[in-house]
Amino acid sequence: MKKKFILPVVLSSAMLVGSIPVSSVFAQPADSSSGQASKAWNEKASVPLFVKERYAEKFSSSTASEALNYLKMNQDKTGIPHPDKNLKVKSTQKDELGMTHVRFNQSVNGVKVEGAEVVIHFNKNNEIVSVNGRTNQTIAEDSVDTNASLSSDEALSAALAAVNAPEELTYEPTSELVVLPFEGKNYTAYKVNVNFMGDEPGNWFVFVDAKTGEVIDQYNGLMHADEQTQKGAGKGVHGEHRELHITQVKEPNAGTKFALADYSHENLGGIVTYDAKNDNSFSNDTVYVGNSAAFISDYDRAAVDAHYNSEKVYEYYLNEHGRNSLDGEGMAIVSRVHYGNNYNNASWNGRWMTYGDGDGKFMISLSAGLDVAAHEMTHGVITHSANLVYRNQSGALNESFADVFGALIDDSDWEMGEDIMAPEAKASGATVLRSLSNPNGVVVSNEQRRAYSTNGGVYPDHMDEFYNMPTSVDGGGVHVNSSITNHAAYLIAQDLGREKLGKIYYRALTVYLTSNSDFSDARQAVVQSAIDLYGEGSEEEAAANAGFDAVGIY
């Protein structure tokens, strides 16, 4: 199928810049100078719910209406009063096991309660077998006026000012009216998403009081002519020969050229790689183009690996899990290389991946790592499934699932980042960024983070070593504490192998986890997924339980 391809094409982008310590690599959120960032969510506003039915009730169909009927009959079991009034259907999905999953948002007067989701799970016989999620138990006691005094445009202005956003944004901001549980109170607020780049880039979520216009909370969720696709070739960062899918294009007055744009996959919007040109300005970014079908210059190498690795990750999710791209619906997969100067990081910004070239001392081009590409692209899968909030334990799970799939896709070892370390770093002993097999073998380099450790400043492998950080430091430990659940996954894989681990973890991520899930929720999700796939009392269920037991997550 032919597509229109206009050259040059400029898309908006946002990435990280600056010198980032080793432990923050892969989409480190910027530290906030605002005291708001360290405030906690209401304890009763995010109460875990997990109901497993031993004597399942059979319904006529696996629909949202039948799910609501169940909830109305079992209010005492779920703790959700008047579910037909207080829940809104978010999605209904049927999986390869024949199970149906109905996902609800808790709401007040039709306004979504932030972080409160409930999922009802039917088996293929229309029996409800489990219910999970998180609910806000303060809503019934606290009457919430969901009328907004502020317009969405006024909320946007307040959000832009709060995060010092530049005039040039990478894409149109979004705004949604929500009920926000925060600091013992339920606010009616606009949830504004603002994305930009520059010296301090961000994918900010800002909550603006819909009554007063004050900013209640905020966090940076940066995770970091007719044509015909044909075969090309290139040389990667480490000199590997890469076969590539590329596109032949014709530029006015320039003849035929070749772009790193792959439209060979059915029902996919394309795999396209851009050149960010090391100038910190997305407005100059263009699709990566060469004069021939062979991309072999030194400057080409980062783009070659980004393009090649993107296709490998796409194929893994499609072939192993039946997922068509990051959103499951064929969205285009976009990468940007040569970002910033001496930039030791890679990121997912909510829409695409960005790779720095490294400083040559600590890191080389980050696109060289298949595990790095898999990590960043998995952040995209997470965005379009569980959408784990990027701070504290939910943020650590976001990082952990990205690491786990990074290690599953780049299956040569259980380490992260071994292919992007520079010779000088390796000589000093810094051979990897994180290790799933031996987290304690890697030092957390940032002294500020080390100050929060109980184990001498290495990555933790057990809850006894959990780093209790404020959200102003590493988003509450999203990169550091992820090593605990990483190690659980590694231990499970030692019993079951990589393929079964991938199936169990993918199901847990896409079926059971919700935006505010914590480590305990993750254990329940993983164990339940093992039961769904392999049966109750199976060795897979036992291995899942044992893996989390071993790291102190009960």
The catalytic site residues sit at 376, 479
Q: What is the distance, to the nearest Å, from the Cα of residue 402 to the centroid of all Cα atoms in its chain?
A: 7
3-state secondary structure of 407: helix
* Number of other CB atoms surrounding residue 43 within 10 Å: 11
Kindly tell me the sign of the dihedral angle through the C-alpha atoms of 467, 420, 394, 512.
negative
Give the full edge-to-edge strand order of the sheet including 228-235: 289-290, 255-259, 241-251, 228-235, 294-295
Strands 174-182 and 111-122: parallel
Own/partner long-range contacts of 86-89 (Cβ < 8 Å, ≥24 apart): 86/139, 87/118, 88/112, 89/64
Q: Which residues contact 294 (CB under 8 A, 6 or more apart)?
A: 232, 233, 234
3-state secondary structure of 263: coil
- Residue 163 token pair: 């995060």
- Contact by Cβ (8 Å): 86, 97: no
- Contact by Cβ (8 Å): 505, 489: yes
3-state secondary structure of 399: helix
